[in-house]
Amino acid sequence: MQTLTIIRPDDFHLHVRSGDALKSVVPFTARQMGRALIMPNLKPPVCTVAQALAYREEILAAVPPERQGRFQPLMSLYLTDKTTVETVREAKAAGIAAFKLYPAGATTNSDSGVTDLFKLLPVLEAMADQGILFLAHGEVTDPEIDIFDREAVFIERIMKPVLEQIPHLKVVFEHITTAEAARLVCEGGERLAATVTPQHLMYNRNHLLVGGVRPHFYCLPIIKRETHRQALIGAVTGEHAHKFFLGTDSAPHPQTAKENACGCAGMFSAATAIELYAQIFERAGALDKLEAFASKNGARFYGLPENTDTITLVKQPQTVPQSFAFGGGRVVPMCAGEVLDWTVQAAV
C-alpha cells in the first residue's frame, strides 16, 4: 500500500463562520492542519484587534481535545475605508498576521469592503513598514466588467499600480484563478505570492454550467476556462512553485442557502483538504512537490517555522459523505459522494 508522509500542512485561507456553525467545521481543519489563516468576513466583519482576539478564542474553544495546544489559528483583519495607520500598529503589537482586502460587493459579506484602495495607500505603507501582509481578493466589481474577466482587470487597474507604488509591501494574491494572475506572481519578485484552492486546480467552468447551473460549484472568484486551470497546475508545479501555497478558501454555507434561487458562493473543502490536494498533485505527476506547496512555502512567506509533526496519507479510496452537520443544518462538501484516491491515515 502506497503511503505519503509530509510535514503537517497549513491552510492559509480559511472560513469557519461563527457560533454553532463554527463548532461544526473547525475540527476538520484542526485535525489536518497545524495552522490556519482565518478570514475576517463575518457579520459584522472582524475589523478591530479586540474582535480578532475574541474570534480566536471562539475558534480555539472548538478545537478537538486531542488537538488542543497543537493547532493555531492565525488572525486577519478586514480592511475597510475607515482602517487607519494606528489600527495597523495595534494589529502588529497583537500578533495579527494580515489585513484582507475585499473590494466592496466582490463576494460573501463584502458590503463593508474597500471602495477605493488608492485612498488607503498610507495604510498599506504602514503595513509594509510593520511587516504585516496584505491579502488581496483580486477582483474589480464594476458592473460593466464580465465576471470572468474581473481578476485580469484587477491586475491591471489595481494590483500592478499598488505593487509599483509600495515596493516593500508583502502581498498574497488570494485564491488566484487565471493565467494572468499566475504569470504576475511568477514574475513579481519575492514579495508577491499566491494561494491556490483545490476547486480552481480541479475544475473549469463546464463543471458549473454544463447540464444546468450546479450551485455547489459556484464560488467567487468564479471558476474559469480550462486553459486557466492548466496554467494554475503549471504554476504550482513549475519553476516558480515556491511562490504558491495551500489556501483552501473552504467556505461552508448551509445546504438550503446553496440550493435556492439565489445560491451563495463558496465550496466547503476542509473535511478532505489535504486528500484533495494529494489527488491533484499526483494526477499532475508532481506528488513530490505536494509537501513544499502544503507545508513549506506558506510558512516561509509568512515568516513562520515549519510545523514539527507530520501527517500520513495512504493510497486508499474514500467516499466523501453527501453532507455533514453544520450548526442546525447540513453542509455539502466538495466532491460529495465521489471517491477520492487518498485517505489520511495517521498523524505523528
- The amino acid that residue 72 corresponds to is Q
249 belongs to an annotated ligand binding site: yes
CA–CA dist 163, 52 (Å, integer): 27
Catalytic residue list contains 309: no
17 belongs to an annotated ligand binding site: yes
The pairing of strands 244-246 and 3-7 is unpaired
Structural element, H or E, at residue 246: strand 244-246
Which entry of 81, 142, 149, 249 is annotated as an active-site residue?
Answer: 249
196 belongs to an annotated ligand binding site: no
CA–CA dist 164, 183 (Å, integer): 16
CA–CA dist 100, 124 (Å, integer): 11
HEC-encoded secondary structure of 51-77: HHHHHHHHHHHCCCHHHCCCCEEEEEE
The pairing of strands 133-136 and 98-101 is parallel
CA–CA dist 151, 306 (Å, integer): 31
Do residues 146 and 221 touch, judged by C-beta distance below 8 A? no
**Nearest one of 5, 73, 11, 3 to 271, comparing CA atoms:** 11
207 belongs to an annotated ligand binding site: no
Bridge partners (DSSP) listed for residue 347: 311
**Nearest one of 300, 269, 247 to 37, comparing CA atoms:** 247
243 belongs to an annotated ligand binding site: no
Do residues 148 and 222 touch, judged by C-beta distance below 8 A? yes
First to last CA, the chain: 19
Do residues 27 and 64 touch, judged by C-beta distance below 8 A? yes
137 belongs to an annotated ligand binding site: yes
DSSP single-letter state for residue 9:
P
Annotated binding site: 13, 15-17, 41, 100, 137, 175, 220, 249, 253, 265
Residues annotated as part of the active site:
249
Annotated binding site for Zn(2+): 13, 15, 100, 137, 175, 249
Annotated binding site for substrate: 15-17, 41, 137, 220, 253, 265
